[in-house]
């Protein structure tokens, strides 16, 4: 069971890498939102929800941390949707939305690593 949990954790990290990596690529390029960022968000969300289930562990879950990360993930999803809509209408993503996506993604990773 522990091996399965580690596989799900790996998938979760791949989702984060897709989201943040897509953002970094756009940072160097045209500062927009690409499909890889949307897929990374979806992969990270599904794997994160699977990790939040209390299966195969011998310790208590930190539900405050899980809730905080979920709220940040929802905000990132909303910003991706808003940014995509604005890009379709005006041709570019507002800089505030673009930078918030990157900062919140990095903050979500920092919470995962630093909050014990």
Percent of the chain with pLDDT over 70: 99
Question: How many domains are contained in the chain?
Answer: 1
Give strand ranges (E) for the chain: none
How far apart are the C-alpha atoms of 91 and 27, rounded to whole Å? 16
Q: Given a cut of 90, is residue 116 above it in pLDDT? A: no
Q: Is the pLDDT of residue 25 over 90?
A: yes
Q: Which domain holds residue 91?
A: 2-114
Determine if residue 32 is left, alpha or beta; phi over 0 gives left, psi from -120 to 50 gives alpha, anything else beta: beta
pTM over 0.85: yes
The pLDDT score that the predictor gives to residue 80 is: 97
Per-residue pLDDT tens digits for 46-79 = 999 999 887 777 778 899 999 999 999 999 999 9
Is it the case that residue 92 has pLDDT exceeding 80?
yes
């Amino acid at each position: 069971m522990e091996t399965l949990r580690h596989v799900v954790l790996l998938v979760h990290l791949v989702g984060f890498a897709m989201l943040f990596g897509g953002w970094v690529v756009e940072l160097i390029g045209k500062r927009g939102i690409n499909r890889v960022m949307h897929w990374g968000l979806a992969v990270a969300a599904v794997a994160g929800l699977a990790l939040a289930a209390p299966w195969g562990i011998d310790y208590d879950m930190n539900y405050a941390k899980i809730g905080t990360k979920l709220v940040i993930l929802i905000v990132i999803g909303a910003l991706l949707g808003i940014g995509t809509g604005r890009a379709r209408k005006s041709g570019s993503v507002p800089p505030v939305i673009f930078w918030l996506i990157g900062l919140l993604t990095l903050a979500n990773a920092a919470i995962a690593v630093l909050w014990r």
